[in-house]
A and B are shown apart, each in its own frame.
Chain A
Amino acid sequence: MIQWRPVYVICLREFKKFFREKSRLLGTLARPVLWLFVVGNGMNSLIRPQVGFSYLQFIFPGMIGMTILFSSIFSSISIVWDREFGFMKEMLVAPISRLSIVIGKAVSGTAISVAQAIIILVLTPFLGIHLSFTQFIEVVAASVLVSFCITSLGILIAARLTSFDGFNIIMNFLVMPMLFLSGAMYPVTSMPVALRQLSLINPLTYGIDVFKHILLRNATPPLGPEFLLSVDLIIVAVFSIIMLTLAALSFRTKS
């Protein structure tokens, strides 16, 4: 059962803290900006995939995916902070369902990620990428879905993580591989078979493919979208629901 007032106040708290911690906002935004301006422009002179189509333009959908990935994982890891600093207990002993806590964290993590994706979209004119209004709306809508998916995954991990020591392991062995094996920087189809298999079980691959459907509509494979849009959307949606259910369940268990 979901109680909406607790969900609302859990979200409110996350937003307040997000806007108070300027360093966090700066950190999650600096990464994609560095990639786009520095790496993107640097690689542009080396790699010319197609006429009238730069490497920078190719990685742009992936960079939105990356922003969402880091922001969503970081938001859900706040559960580990809450547990470490005791605040989680305040929520656990309140007369609210565990599902309300999980939904609150999922909704706030999603909203914060989408907000950051929008900030990246606003930067597009400086990169020489021009979006139509429809494309903008479509990217925002897709961001909601992808953010929700990654946040749910993050909550499930955070629910099972007992200490901060696990955080670095998660960053190095889950988040970075998820980024490199997502088709963000190079097409999945051009990867060696073993790596390609890993990419296919990575939910971010399908999330970024949705962005490619919107942003690289006219590009030819392998640089354009690699899967059917319907396949992408179904996989992302199903994955989100499974992760969120598992997260809610692992919250419920008490010894």
Chain B
Amino acid sequence: MPIINVQNLSKQFKSLKAVDDITFSVNEGEVFGFLGPNGAGKTTTINILCTLLTPTGGSAEIAGHDCATQSDQVRAAIGLIFQDTTLDAGLTAYENLKFHAYLYNLDRRLTERRIDEMLSVVELQNRKHDLIKHFSGGMKRRLEIARGLLHYPRVLFLDEPTLGLDPQTRNTIWEFITTLRNKEKITVFMTTHYMDEAENCDRIAIIDHGRIIALDTPATLKQVVRGDVIHLVTADNKRAIAEIQRLFNITAREENNGLVLETEKGDEFIPTLIHSLPIRTVSVSLKKPTLNDVFLKLTGRTIRDDVLQDDRETTREFVRSHRRAQR
């Protein structure tokens, strides 16, 4: 039984089609990822799902409620963690959570217990009465996760949950998310443009220019790329190529003072290769295909921050000016 159901959803900002006829569903308890470069339409989709934007075409439903017409029911069923922090820096951790509890009309006796429970989940119980302005980026993000979970939402939305955080904090956040979905029966919908993060999801939709270009498990998606890539440097590369062709019927090619060959299950193949090859091996390395390779294969481009940063700014500018024009 899908908890999120999106049918032919579109969102047009004047001439820009931010979301272009997308259809997908997310099952209860799933960790679902939206992967794509900046400006691909991820945040627009999330904003429609969390009732901040009205779609220009199609429909979106969460827990059986229409996102466009039954906003209050949808809002009560979801928790949100945005790209940019939405905490009040002038309040304490406890006050931010209490504010949230009142907005979501939590039972008064339940509130205090829930706040303590959530603070311990994100390991911030000893900072309960500290002002947010003294918190680090990672602590703020953890507190936002605690706040997003405070009213026990059925779906938790995470828009670029680890953007701008250091790798160590990113790992901690991911540990939280994984423990969380094991403990609570919660559906997680997240967007990211980090390939390695997307691999933590049960299923991934790859989105580009407002369209879903692939949707599957990370493992299946990776099969789009033929196999693992082995890079080998030997004492005599020319002879090695000939030997590999003879022994394994694999065509290797010379590259960077070494040779490159593609094969499935490369990790299991390496010992056999080294053992049977009559030439001395100087070095060997194995590259597993990543979602980046998948994206490259599907779009002919890589997801890269520096190039696409401008792209996103343009879209944001566009959306802003569109909103201004509407007023």
A residues touching B (Cβ–Cβ < 8 Å)?
Answer: 3, 5-6, 8-9, 13, 16-17, 20-21, 85-87, 89-96, 160, 162, 250, 253-255
5 contacts between A and B (CB under 8 A): A13-B99, A16-B95, A85-B88, A90-B99, A253-B326
Closest CB in chain B relative to A95 CB, distance in Å? 4
Contacts of A162 in B (CB 8 A): 320, 323-324
Q: Which residue of B lies closest to A1 (CB)?
A: B72
Q: Which residue of B lies closest to A163 (CB)?
A: B320
A5-B105, A94-B103, A95-B104 known; A13+B95 contact, CB < 8 A: yes
Q: Are A17 and B91 in contact (CB under 8 A)?
A: yes
Q: Which residue of B lies closest to A21 (CB)?
A: B90
Q: Are A5 and B53 in contact (CB under 8 A)?
A: no
B269 at the binding interface (Cβ < 8 Å): no
Q: Which residue of A lies closest to B106 (CB)?
A: A5
Q: How many residues of B contact A (CB 8 A)?
A: 36
Q: Which residue of A lies closest to B88 (CB)?
A: A87
A86-B86, A94-B103, A95-B104 known; A254+B52 contact, CB < 8 A: yes
A89-B82, A91-B103 known; A9+B91 contact, CB < 8 A: no
Q: Are A89 and B86 in contact (CB under 8 A)?
A: yes
Q: Are B104 and A255 in contact (CB under 8 A)?
A: no
Q: Are A92 and B52 in contact (CB under 8 A)?
A: yes
Contacts of A86 in B (CB 8 A): 82, 84-87
A6-B102, A9-B99 known; A93+B90 contact, CB < 8 A: no
Q: Which residue of B lies closest to A5 (CB)?
A: B102
Other A-B pairs, 17, CB within 8 Å; known A85-B85, A253-B326, A255-B326: A6-B103, A8-B102, A9-B99, A13-B88, A13-B91, A16-B90, A86-B84, A86-B85, A86-B87, A87-B87, A90-B103, A92-B52, A93-B51, A93-B80, A95-B72, A95-B75, A255-B53
Q: Which residue of A lies closest to B103 (CB)?
A: A94
Interface-central residue, A21, A85, A93, A162, by most chain B CB under 10 Å: A93
Q: Are A94 and B104 in contact (CB under 8 A)?
A: yes
B180 at the binding interface (Cβ < 8 Å): no
Cα distance, A89 to B100, chains bound together (Å): 12
Closest CB in chain B relative to A47 CB, distance in Å? 43
Cα distance, A77 to B159, chains bound together (Å): 28
Contacts of A87 in B (CB 8 A): 86-88
Closest CB in chain A relative to B33 CB, distance in Å? 21
Closest CB in chain B relative to A76 CB, distance in Å? 17
Closest CB in chain B relative to A126 CB, distance in Å? 33
Contacts of A90 in B (CB 8 A): 86-87, 99-100, 103
B89 at the binding interface (Cβ < 8 Å): yes
Contacts of B53 in A (CB 8 A): 254-255
Contacts of A253 in B (CB 8 A): 326-327
Contacts of B86 in A (CB 8 A): 86-87, 89-90
Cα distance, A203 to B104, chains bound together (Å): 37
Interface residues of B in 294-327 (CB under 8 A from A): 320, 322-324, 326-327
Contacts of B50 in A (CB 8 A): 93
B54 at the binding interface (Cβ < 8 Å): yes
Cα distance, A20 to B73, chains bound together (Å): 35
Cα distance, A91 to B104, chains bound together (Å): 10
Q: Are A9 and B90 in contact (CB under 8 A)?
A: no
Contacts of B75 in A (CB 8 A): 93-95
Q: Which residue of A lies closest to B89 (CB)?
A: A85
Cα distance, A253 to B91, chains bound together (Å): 29
Contacts of B73 in A (CB 8 A): 95
Closest CB in chain A relative to B40 CB, distance in Å? 19
Cα distance, A95 to B104, chains bound together (Å): 6
Cα distance, A92 to B72, chains bound together (Å): 11
Cα distance, A5 to B80, chains bound together (Å): 21
Cα distance, A93 to B72, chains bound together (Å): 9
Closest CB in chain A relative to B55 CB, distance in Å? 11
Q: Which residue of A lies closest to B54 (CB)?
A: A254
Contacts of B84 in A (CB 8 A): 86
B231 at the binding interface (Cβ < 8 Å): no
Contacts of A85 in B (CB 8 A): 85, 88-89
B141 at the binding interface (Cβ < 8 Å): no
Q: Are B102 and A17 in contact (CB under 8 A)?
A: no
Taking a contact as CB atoms closer than 8 A, the residue among A17, A94, A255 that contacts B54 in the complex is A255
Cα distance, A3 to B53, chains bound together (Å): 23
B222 at the binding interface (Cβ < 8 Å): no
Closest CB in chain B relative to A51 CB, distance in Å? 51
Q: Are B91 and A93 in contact (CB under 8 A)?
A: no
Q: Are A3 and B99 in contact (CB under 8 A)?
A: no
Contacts of A16 in B (CB 8 A): 90-91, 95
Contacts of B322 in A (CB 8 A): 255
Interface-central residue, A85, A160, A253, by most chain B CB under 10 Å: A85
B211 at the binding interface (Cβ < 8 Å): no
B76 at the binding interface (Cβ < 8 Å): yes
Interface residues of B in 84-133 (CB under 8 A from A): 84-91, 95, 98-100, 102-105
Cα distance, A162 to B322, chains bound together (Å): 12
Taking a contact as CB atoms closer than 8 A, the residue among B71, B78, B102, B327 that contacts A9 in the complex is B102
Closest CB in chain A relative to B135 CB, distance in Å? 14
Contacts of B71 in A (CB 8 A): 95
Contacts of B99 in A (CB 8 A): 9, 13, 90
Q: Are B327 and A3 in contact (CB under 8 A)?
A: no
Closest CB in chain A relative to B124 CB, distance in Å? 18
